[in-house]
Amino acid sequence: GGEEFVILLPETDALTAQNVANRIRREVETQVLDTAMGSVSLSISAGIAELAMEEDDTLEGMIGRADAALYAAKASGRNRCLIYCGAATLKTMRI
């Protein structure tokens, strides 16, 4: 379970966006929540995609690719940030 949200970074390439996502991921994983049932650790996974301006791309298409990368990140172990690089290739760069 978890929430999904979109962060749009205008004029930012995928590698820079991945660096931003990894900074957020590292900060989140340092947080521990104390609950009545004990401590809870947090993690996030992120999917990153660029808007392909020269190919009549759409915002919906970009979000769909980011969503595919997000699910690949979850499937490959969670707590990681993946860039969408095509249907067959998702690039991992965990920092």
- For 14-33, how does the pLDDT look when each residue is reduced to its tens digit (9 = 90+)? 999 999 999 999 999 999 99
- For 55-77, how does the pLDDT look when each residue is reduced to its tens digit (9 = 90+)? 788 999 999 999 999 999 998 88
Sign of CA dihedral 94, 7, 13, 53: positive
The model's pTM: 0.83
Give the list of residues 6+ apart from residue 15 with CB closer than 8 angstroms, or none: 83, 93
- What average pLDDT does range 48-60 have in this prediction? 88
Q: What is the pLDDT of residue 85?
A: 87
| CB distance 71 to 47 below 8 Å | yes
Positions annotated as catalytic residues are 3
Q: What is the pLDDT of residue 88?
A: 57
In this predicted structure, the answer to whether residue 87 has a pLDDT above a threshold of 80 is no
| CB distance 80 to 61 below 8 Å | no
Give the Å distances, CA to CA, from 33 to 3, 25, 26, 41, 48. 17, 16, 15, 7, 27
